[in-house]
Amino acid sequence: MKKIDLHIHTVQSISDRNFIFHLESLKEYVNKLEIDCIAITNHNLFDKTQFEQICQALNIKIFPGIEIDLEGGHLLLISENENLDDFAQKCQKVQKLIPTKDDSISYEQLTEVFLNLKDYLLIPHYDKKPNIKPETLKKLGNNIFAGEVTSLRKFKTCIKEADKLTPVIFSDCRFVENMTSYPTKQTFIDVEENTLNAIKGCLYDKAKVFLSKDDGNDFFQATDDGIILSTGLNVIVGGRSSGKTYTLDKICQNFDNVKYLRQFSLLQNDKENFKKLVTTRHSLITENYLKEFKDVVLDVNDIDLKSNEVSLEKYLSSLKKYATESDSLDTFSKCKLYNETKFTLDSLNNIKKLISATETLIEANEYKTIVNKHISDEILKSLIVDLIEKHNELYQTNLKKEWTNSLIETIKENLRFRSTTTSIEEVDFLQIQLEKIKVQKFRNVVKKVQTEKIIDSKEIRGFKVLAKTKKYTGASQLKNKSKSKLSFSEAFNNYDNPYEFLISLQNIGIEETEYYKYFVAIDYRTLNKHGYEVSGGERSEFNLLHEISDALKHDLLLIDEPESSFDNIFLKNEVNELIKQISTEIPVIVVTHNSTIGASINPNHLVFTQKLVDSGNVEYKVFFGHPTSKTLKSVDGKIIKNLEVLLNCLEAGAEAYNQRNTVSYEILKD
């Protein structure tokens, strides 16, 4: 079994953040983590001189490699450590083809540079950003059989699913001076020789790739000091100040995308703060519900009814005056263009939508067979051509109208400048009437939006979260909504008159994209299993269940002493079951000193932390093993009795445990 890390950076490239490579840190990493084989894979470059220095300094197999920006994704290309001059020349060609961090090479350029790709080990970013696109993987064909992933969860998923590539997980690390910890992202492969062909042959077979040396894919190394954890459910126990939280923090620092529920963080006794928290969590529901209404508000916000009334008054006044002067028109005012109206431009919005919709149907891959069952690609292509031609025709007509309107306006200005006769003010009756109808409809829409109704209901293990619309009842609520010191008193006086209220909001100084939020409140209520508002303790319980349920968006779940805030019945009936479910998907690590969690939850792995003080020096020891094992072992091979650990950590010692069982509980039995 060999432990490999084929993704290591030692040179800062244009694609990297600032770092200065430190050889001693790399040496310590290799020795401390007991790495058998590494590859140096810098972004779009290969430094032959530095590579040879690293080979001389480390007593392990080192492969030359390069991480290439390929068609928008990243590809590791690794060579056997033989003809370095040839490999360096090829890498120089890649470096010239990628002058900036935004550039990448094509598949064709890749094959032009490296010729026969079968001579190399190719590992794409698979479930890792920026991942190689499926179409590029298709071009690479049989040269690709392994893919780099970012997490234990993704690794195990790829192992289980037959259509996925063989997963590998690497550090992708830049080694600098004074590193306090080292990554534990490496892959174990069942191979005897450290040759490129042997590794390639191994990666063809998922059954020969593992997360751990002795326990397959059920365990992984969590920290660089050797702590081994299960990919399922782990429980960490220990006395006060024995290093439990310290260990949890160290695990957290070593992994990305971690859900960490810290001790006491979920206590929630303040009703208002709890309500704000629930509202924030479900803000997406509010946004989705009011999405269309937001567009309506923005549309109506551009309407100025007062300005329209002024325009009508000006038009009528000028029309009357022009009529009284009709007998004394001069030469200029008698011209037909003197009071000519402009051409109305055709709207292109609808035809643009049709073109976009047709384009979507043509490019649809996921449901292509269903689309083509009813409409062939030929018909769709013919349709989009006709639509584009019609769009261009309308567009050209609009250009002509705009040019003509501009000419009319110029002539009218010149005629009016020379004439002493009153000109009739221009007014767009259609637009004014449409805006009047829009405002009336807006009033009706707002009243319907403000009608109290439940818009969403969500069950979370016995609790229910209801989202309900309701009207604001005072200016203070609007002020709280804005989270500012702005005054909403005058605006709220018009709250029951939607258009007038909108005009009032314009005068306050808030962003117009936020106006829609002040018309209706979305109230969130959290109910217990009996249908009543949750109490202080229930709020904390709900918080815990919600946060744990949310953990599946992450790759690792850490929970620090949940019993500090909850009773044993709730922990056993609700929390334990949920944690067990989640641990089938992602690794879960729970710190506890409570037997309800520590013992009743039946974990896959047990970790015991111990604080030792010798002559003023503090040392934290960590023991681990299966919960049913007689003993637990430390990294350095020391052994401790499991029963003694559990009784001391979960039951206040053997004497207290026996006393409770033989005295306290026995006398209560019938």
Tell me, yes or no, whether 197 lies in a domain. yes
Cα–Cα distance for residue pair 152/532, rounded to 1 Å: 41
What single-letter DSSP state applies at residue 563?
Answer: G
Structure tokens at 609: 């932390």
Instruction: Considering only CA atoms, give the Rg of the chain.
Output: 36
Distances 352 to 355, 359, 426 between C-alpha atoms, Å: 5, 11, 30
The per-residue pLDDT for 363 is 85
Tokens 């009709």 locate to: 326
**Number of domains present in the structure of the chain:** 2
Q: Is the pLDDT of residue 668 over 50?
A: no
Cα–Cα distance for residue pair 148/187, rounded to 1 Å: 10
Cα–Cα distance for residue pair 632/626, rounded to 1 Å: 8
pLDDT tens digit sequence for 190-201: 999 889 999 999
CATH assignment of the domain containing 101: 3.20.20.140
Same domain, 89 and 203: yes
HEC sequence for 11-77 = CCCCCCCCCCCCHHHHHHHHHHCCCCEEEEEEECCCCHHHHHHHHHHCCCEEEEEEEEEECCEEEEE
The per-residue pLDDT for 445 is 95
Same domain, 25 and 149: yes
Q: Select from 218, 247, 281 the last residue of a domain.
A: 218
Of residues 44 and 592, more confidently modeled:
44
Structure tokens at 395: 């567009």
Q: Select from 189, 218, 247 the last residue of a domain.
A: 218
Tell me, yes or no, whether 501 lies in a domain. no
Q: Select from 170, 191, 218 the last residue of a domain.
A: 218
Query: Residue ranges of the alpha helices (H) in 302-376?
Result: 305-324, 349-363, 368-374
Q: What is the mean pLDDT of residues 577-594?
A: 87
Tell me, yes or no, whether 288 lies in a domain. no
Maximum pairwise Cα distance, the chain: 121
Lowest mean pLDDT among 76-90, 172-186, 205-219, 243-257: 243-257
Would you place residue 416 in the very low, low, confident or very high pLDDT band (cuts 50, 70, 90)?
A: confident
Same domain, 253 and 140: no
Q: At what angle do helices 291-301 and 498-506 cross, to 10 degrees?
A: 70
Structure tokens at 52: 């040879």
Chain centroid, CA 178 distance in Å = 32
Same domain, 621 and 564: yes
Average pLDDT, the chain: 88
pTM of structure: 0.71
| Length in residues, the chain | 670
The per-residue pLDDT for 284 is 80
Same domain, 193 and 250: no
Same domain, 187 and 247: no
Chain centroid, CA 48 distance in Å = 39
Same domain, 194 and 248: no
Same domain, 103 and 179: yes
User: For residue 647, which of 614, 599, 584, 582 has the smallest C-alpha distance?
Assistant: 599
Give kind and range of the element (H or E) at residue 221.
strand 219-221
Tell me, yes or no, whether 117 lies in a domain. yes
pLDDT tens digit sequence for 603-662: 899 988 888 877 778 778 888 988 888 999 988 888 988 887 777 776 655 454 555 555
Same domain, 137 and 244: no
- % residues pLDDT > 70 (the chain): 92
Same domain, 99 and 243: no
Structural domain range at position 574:
235-257+554-668
Tell me, yes or no, whether 517 lies in a domain. no
Tell me, yes or no, whether 88 lies in a domain. yes
Residue 88, classed as helix, strand or coil, is: helix
The per-residue pLDDT for 597 is 62
The per-residue pLDDT for 655 is 52
The per-residue pLDDT for 210 is 96
Which pairs from 298-303 meet CB under 8 Å and 24+ separation? 298/512, 298/513, 298/515, 298/516, 299/438, 300/438, 300/439, 300/442, 300/499, 300/502, 301/502, 301/506, 301/512, 301/515, 303/435, 303/438, 303/439
Q: What is the mean pLDDT of residues 371-400?
A: 93
| Sequence-separated (6 or more) residues with CB below 8 Å from residue 106 | 70, 71
Lowest mean pLDDT among 92-96, 300-304, 593-597: 593-597
Lowest mean pLDDT among 143-147, 194-198, 199-203, 560-564: 560-564
For every residue of 360-395, DSSP letters joined together read HHHH--TTHHHHHHHS-HHHHHHHHHHHHHHHHHHH
Give kind and range of the element (H or E) at residue 639.
strand 639-641
Would you place residue 73 in the very low, low, confident or very high pLDDT band (cuts 50, 70, 90)?
A: very high
Cα–Cα distance for residue pair 288/558, rounded to 1 Å: 31
Q: What is the mean pLDDT of residues 528-534?
A: 84
Q: Is the pLDDT of residue 663 over 50?
A: no
Same domain, 13 and 47: yes
Same domain, 251 and 195: no
Give kind and range of the element (H or E) at residue 577.
helix 576-582
The per-residue pLDDT for 191 is 93
Tell me, yes or no, whether 139 lies in a domain. yes
